[in-house]
Structure 1
Amino acid sequence: MNRSAPAVSAGGAPTWWAAQGGAEVTVVLPLVLAGLCTAGLAGNLLLLLLLAHQLRRGKSSPAHAWLLNLCAADLGLALYGVPARIAAYARRSWVLGRFVCKTSDWLLQGCLVAKSLSWAAVAHARYRSALSSASCKCPGWSWRRRAGLLGAAWLAALLLPLPQLLFAEVAPAARSGSLACLFQAPGHAATFMDIFSKVYPVVASLVPAGFTCSCYWRALRLRAARKKNRLARPGAGGGPPSQKATWALLCLSILFHAMWLPQWVLWLWERHRRPSGQSPAPPAALAVVAELLLFLNSALSPGVFMATSGEFREGLRSLWTALSCRKEAAAAAEEEGPPRAGPSRAAAGENPQPLRDLSPEVVAAAGAEKVLPDVEHFWKDRRNTTAGEESDPVPWEHQ
């Protein structure tokens, strides 16, 4: 017998907060989310500009391409996910319409899955870099292949949470009666959603997290082995990537999955409780903390990454120097003003005459004035002379 799945809030503003929320919901939470949105936009735009500057200088790698993908996912969260939640918490009702209701939570989950896959790809690129410098030379990837992998990652990230797009609707909330964005699968899809709600966290987070940790562990082992080889053979070649940068990337990956964990607890709790009301609903504080941690991670990750990576700190200084030099050059050009054009020859009373209109005498006089003093003695005895008879090419004509 088919049974309907329990209704779950989608797009922010849990339904129980619509009846219980006070000023801390309608004022404090929107302000906190707006601050996180602003910090996330500023940090990710700065990191995006820094990565573009690194690519312009010729410092490109697969890890840089996936870091660009992470910035794009964080910008998607800040531009589309956070504003919908700010409006829902401030109004304690859904006022953004059916399209935003269907797409807001779907794009939120898609960006999170894209970040999870991107962190796994960064770890794999780090392992390949360590492997190429420690044991063998792995062939590099062209930009066409990197673009294909980025497109495949986004396609998988948007297809995996597709039920969020299909089953989200605007409906009256059960307790307050105000409009809310709810996710509820129909009765004929209840079995599928029961399986999907268990498989989705494993595929979206658990498997990429395990793959990420295994890649970093192998990369660190290869670096330790390479370090021993350099101590044994001081003349060995260059080592693998910096251990500090590898540890920083590993910590950021673990931090992302740890901040995503409360959202998975809320996900499983809401979708596997009994709809009859026999099992308690998730605490409202858990829903708020889960969302705040997700957006806090998007706001903190760029700053933490730039603070712990020596390469990007150097790139940031280089970018600042380039921008400062450009501003100084523009200011100097403004102070000098436009170039002043001298008076034309026509304005000065001169009448330029084409060379073909000059007479031979004038041309000869001009050429005589321009004879160099070093060759003056060479031409002094040869001017205005006639050829002698001994130099006559046809002497028999004059006999």
Structure 2
Amino acid sequence: MAVNSSFVSFDGGIQQLKGEDTLVIVPAILSTISGLGIVGNVLVLVVLIYVFTRQRASEAYVMLANLSATDLLILCLCAPMRAVTYYRRTWTLGLMACKTTEWIQHSCLAVKAFTLLAASQARHNFSSNPDDQSNFRQKNVLVTLVIIWTVALVFPIPDSVFSRLKEYGNISLCVSELTSDSQDVMRLYSKILPMAIYVLPIILAAACHIRTIFHIKPSAHEETLLARQYESSLVYLSIIALNALMMLPEWASWMWVRYSPGERCKPPAGLLIFGQVCVYLSSAFCPAILLTMHVPLRESLSSLCSQLTCRGAKNRLEIKGNANEMRAIVMKVLDERAGASTLTATERHPDTSCQTFADLEHFWSERRNTTVMEDSDPLPWERLNQRNVEL
């Protein structure tokens, strides 16, 4: 640590853990969560694409697709990077990864928070006036997404400016190290960042759904629609509550590191690891909530599975029918070839029982065409005996 600097924290995971159990357990947990979460979010995206092909895309569904894509990005980039760091116990991913690891994760967390807020507002507008669909415009949704991603990518930039590689003995460490000149500015920034991408979006999103639930008026003619609105509001509230609870250890330890008075008051390594694991658990649990509690998505998943099953059965029947047809064609061709070969053999040898040798054929033909005269008969006494017998 330099004289005019203050060590803040590790970036991309703790790189000086002690104990052989953390060498395997923590990377295994992160890898398992990442694998299950990737499968779940990909399934949600497939179901949403299937919904978009069958009906007009709503703003809330577009925001759910953006939420799943953000969770997928977190699980594909951030979780494996920390698993490698915990396994190697040193930073081996280079300076560029050290500069961007915290920036990518905080940007994705900001996108999740802003997306939940936008989806909550869209659900509130739909619940207030479900018959008016003119508010949804593709251009407006694209503008909203661009604003969300732009603000989310800009907010964590100051925190990544101070990320750098430090040589500690024979290993490299990725750390955030603040200079004495920037401590006051970064202390203010450390208060603004969690309020902007964690506290305020959660409060506003929850307020939108609570207001929607209280504004829903029961009606005998629209019981099904009201039930769907209640269920959708409960689903979004569950996701918001899950996100708030799972992010709490991460942001609590993040604030603790930056506002602790000395090195002895730093948070324990177990709390830091637990906070990071909870971040990835949130991204892995959101698909489970959407596919089990969100009735339209659950019905679309069932319809997609049944359609794929029927298509697979149809393809198997077609393959089986084609195999039978091919077998019949092959047998017919073989029969025709066998008949042709038999006919050829018959034409070559019409009657094998009447075949004669070529050397004796001329002799027998001459014998059949030869008339023996009586004068030249070599055995006249045989004929005399025959005449006597006849007489």
Shift of 1:4: 3.2
State the SS of the aligned residue for 2:5: coil
Matched length:
325
Give unpaired runs (5+ residues) of structure 2: 330-391
Aligned twin of 2:242: 255
Over 3 Å counting, the alpha-carbon distance change for 1:206 and 1:177 in structure 2 is farther
Aligned twin of 1:286: 271
CA distance in 1, matches of 2:228, 2:222: 18
* Contact 2:74-2:280 within 8 A present in 1 as well: yes
**Which of residues 111, 116, 121 is equivalent to 2:113?**
116
Aligned twin of 2:92: 95
CA distance in 2, matches of 1:10, 1:267: 11
Residue by residue over 1:47-82, the C-alpha shift from the partner in whole angstroms, topping out at 9 and shown as x without a partner, is 010000011111521110000111111111111001
Over 3 Å counting, the alpha-carbon distance change for 1:261 and 1:212 in structure 2 is same
Please show how residues 74-223 of structure 1 align to structure 2 within 5 Å: 74-133=71-130, 137=132, 139-173=134-168, 178-223=171-216
Residue by residue over 1:105-151, the C-alpha shift from the partner in whole angstroms, topping out at 9 and shown as x without a partner, is 11111111100111111111111111113xx8473221122112112
* Contact 1:93-1:179 within 8 A present in 2 as well: yes
Give the residue type in structure 2 aligned to 1:254. Answer: A
Please show how residues 303-322 of structure 1 align to structure 2 within 5 Å: 303-322=288-307
CA RMSD of aligned residues (A): 2.4
CA distance in 1, matches of 2:223, 2:162: 59
2:49 maps to 1:52: yes
Residue by residue over 1:90-109, the C-alpha shift from the partner in whole angstroms, topping out at 9 and shown as x without a partner, is 01111111111111211111
**Which of residues 231, 244, 261 is equivalent to 1:274?**
261
CA distance in 2, matches of 1:180, 1:209: 34
CA distance in 1, matches of 2:75, 2:305: 25
Shift of 1:329: 3.0
Shift of 1:23: 2.1
Shift of 1:7: 2.6
Give the residue type in structure 1 aligned to 2:257. Answer: E
Over 3 Å counting, the alpha-carbon distance change for 1:98 and 1:45 in structure 2 is same
Residue by residue over 1:345-386, the C-alpha shift from the partner in whole angstroms, topping out at 9 and shown as x without a partner, is xxxxxxxxxxxxxxxxxxxxxxxxxxxxxxxxxxxxxxxxxx
Larger radius of gyration: 2
Shift of 1:185: 2.8
Percent identity over paired residues: 25
Give unpaired runs (5+ residues) of structure 1: 342-399
CA distance in 2, matches of 1:46, 1:117: 22
* Contact 1:41-1:75 within 8 A present in 2 as well: yes
* Contact 2:127-2:229 within 8 A present in 1 as well: no
TM-score by length of 2: 0.78
TM-score by length of 1: 0.76
Shift of 1:251: 1.5
2:280 maps to 1:295: yes
Over 3 Å counting, the alpha-carbon distance change for 1:158 and 1:22 in structure 2 is same
State the SS of the aligned residue for 2:178: coil
Residue by residue over 1:200-231, the C-alpha shift from the partner in whole angstroms, topping out at 9 and shown as x without a partner, is 111111110111111011100111xx21xx25
Aligned twin of 1:43: 40
CA distance in 2, matches of 1:86, 1:144: 39
* Contact 2:167-2:173 within 8 A present in 1 as well: yes
Aligned twin of 1:9: 10
Shift of 1:164: 3.1
State the SS of the aligned residue for 1:184: strand
